[in-house]
Amino acid sequence: MRESTQKTLCIGLSLSPTWVSGSRLKQEPSLQETIFSAGYYIALSKRAEAAKLDFLFRPDALFLNIEKASQVPAFGGLDPSLLIAAIAHETDYIGFVSTISTLFYPPYIAARQLQSLNWLTQGRVGWNIVTALQGQKNFGQQTLPDPDERYKIASEFTAVTEALWKSHPLKQVNDETQQIISGLKEINFQGEYFNVQGPLNIPEYSQPIPYFQAGASPAGRNFAATLADGIFTATPDLDCAIEFYQDIQHRTVKAGRKHNAVKVLPGLSFYLADSREEAFRLFEQTHANTNPQIKFRYIESLINLDLSQLPLETIIKPEMLPEPIETPYSRTHAKLLRRYICKNHPSIKMLLSSPEVNGSSHWRVIGTADDLVDEIELWVKKQGCDGFIALPCGSEQSLYIFFDQVVPKLVDKGLFREDYQEKTLWQRLQNIGI
């Protein structure tokens, strides 16, 4: 670990194996067991730490979309907190971000899990605070609260969690009397959504737990601006990224915090090969067997437009779009899809291959290591991000090229650190930024 004050990109890597396609699982049935083993993620975490990445991020959802399960095997899976606890002891510096829902978890359980991980990792854990987009029927609810109320619940949930952490401080010794000062106290929290007595049954670690958040609605952005240290986002192009970045910084300052207190970290999916031609073949092969009807149903669920009976060459024009609807899915993704159509006037074939339909609206690069580095450098120069969450796609080839070529090139350009500078994730996030 070297001393340095250089500010650099913040780079996280998804712990969901986005590089494993459904078609490959059918060809290699044994791979299904492999990606549910601790050894698989231990090896991955060691590679990521050797590359000096900031953290490994485990997304999560408390439901399973049966229709998409065979197409997206990385969706769902192992419990984030349990997975991190199983693999963190094999590393020394890299951070781990666990996802916990504020709608379905009790605050006491969340507070205890996160503080336990904070101890087990010695300050290297972060919390991805999510509400929910689906899954309510797995928890005795028929409908979800509207987005604004979900964030009200999340705010109160976070307040309860913080109060529980403070309710059990580390014991200190009084210098004069040599008596142990415990500071244990009940919180007796009585709010609109939660009633919790406390105190927590595990003491607070000496380093705080940084917060991450992924909501892009106005309520989500305000929540992040008020509380978060980092925000995950879907920004499929640079113009969208710049708008989002500027808006988050404005909201953060308006909330009374410092500019750049919230690190903007878009998802970055990439298909990498030694040549662009190979990379495009990898992309096409990965999606060759995807059922187009799933994509058509996804489009219709977001913007109420059925394209399934039209020729693939049909141009989608803005005037074909129905009025916006209340979607049970992400309003942000619906807005991004409408934006793509209005901006590009795509054919149906183009639309089906777009990141908005075929990649969760993430920033996407198909090409060589140099292509990816150039794209990252451009986004940094234009202030579209403070870093990114790496989502290697297509095959392990994309993952290995990222580790072995992309990261060293970012170091050479002065965009990323050569070695770790801080021990805990909280400390590291304070010094990140371009």
Decide which of 77 and 255 is more confident: 255
pLDDT-derived band of residue 4, with 50, 70 and 90 as boundaries?
A: very low
Of 17-26, 51-60, 361-370, which range is least confident? Answer: 17-26
| C-alpha–C-alpha distance, residues 266 and 383, integer Å | 12
* Ligand-binding site membership of 158 (annotated): no
Residues 6+ apart with CB under 8 A from 393: 18, 19, 269, 270, 271, 283, 286
Find where tokens 């991805």 sit: 128
**H helices present in 51-201, as ranges:** 66-69, 80-87, 107-120, 147-166
**Per-residue exposure over 46-78, b if at least 16 CB sit within 10 Å of its own CB, e if not:** ebbbebbbbbbbbbbbbbeeeeeeebbbbbbbb
Find where tokens 């795509």 sit: 346
Of 170-174, 375-379, 419-423, which range is least confident? Answer: 170-174
pLDDT-derived band of residue 147, with 50, 70 and 90 as boundaries?
A: confident
3: pLDDT strictly greater than 50: no
- Tens of pLDDT, residue by residue over 45-57, are 999 999 999 999 9
72: pLDDT strictly greater than 60: no
153: pLDDT strictly greater than 70: yes
pLDDT-derived band of residue 2, with 50, 70 and 90 as boundaries?
A: very low
pLDDT-derived band of residue 5, with 50, 70 and 90 as boundaries?
A: very low
> What are 278's two structure tokens?
């190979």
| C-alpha–C-alpha distance, residues 376 and 356, integer Å | 20
| C-alpha–C-alpha distance, residues 154 and 148, integer Å | 10
> What are 347's two structure tokens?
């054919």
pLDDT-derived band of residue 176, with 50, 70 and 90 as boundaries?
A: low
271: pLDDT strictly greater than 90: yes
> DSSP strand E in 247-294: where?
263-272
Rounded to two decimals, the pTM is 0.90
- Tens of pLDDT, residue by residue over 115-128, are 999 999 999 999 99
Question: In the chain, what are the domains?
Answer: 10-276+361-431 (3.20.20.30), 291-357 (no CATH)
pLDDT-derived band of residue 170, with 50, 70 and 90 as boundaries?
A: confident
158: pLDDT strictly greater than 90: yes
Q: Please state the rounded mean pLDDT for residues 270-275.
A: 98
- Tens of pLDDT, residue by residue over 295-335, are 888 888 889 899 999 999 999 998 999 887 665 557 788 88
386: pLDDT strictly greater than 80: yes
| C-alpha–C-alpha distance, residues 80 and 83, integer Å | 5
Cβ burial, residue 33 (10 Å; 0-12/13-18/19+) = exposed
> What are 39's two structure tokens?
């050894």
**Per-residue exposure over 166-202, b if at least 16 CB sit within 10 Å of its own CB, e if not:** ebbbeeeeeeeeeeeeeeeeebebeeebbebebbbeb
- Whole-number pLDDT of residue 326: 66
* Ligand-binding site membership of 99 (annotated): yes
Q: Please state the rounded mean pLDDT for residues 116-142.
A: 94
273: pLDDT strictly greater than 70: yes
- Whole-number pLDDT of residue 217: 87
What share of the chain has pLDDT > 70, as a percent?
91
| C-alpha–C-alpha distance, residues 15 and 17, integer Å | 6
Q: Please state the rounded mean pLDDT for residues 188-192.
A: 97
Q: Which residues does residue 388 pair with via DSSP β-bridges, in sequence order?
A: 11
Contact (Cβ atoms closer than 8 angstroms) between residue 376 and residue 388: yes
* Ligand-binding site membership of 205 (annotated): no
- Whole-number pLDDT of residue 111: 98
- Whole-number pLDDT of residue 99: 96
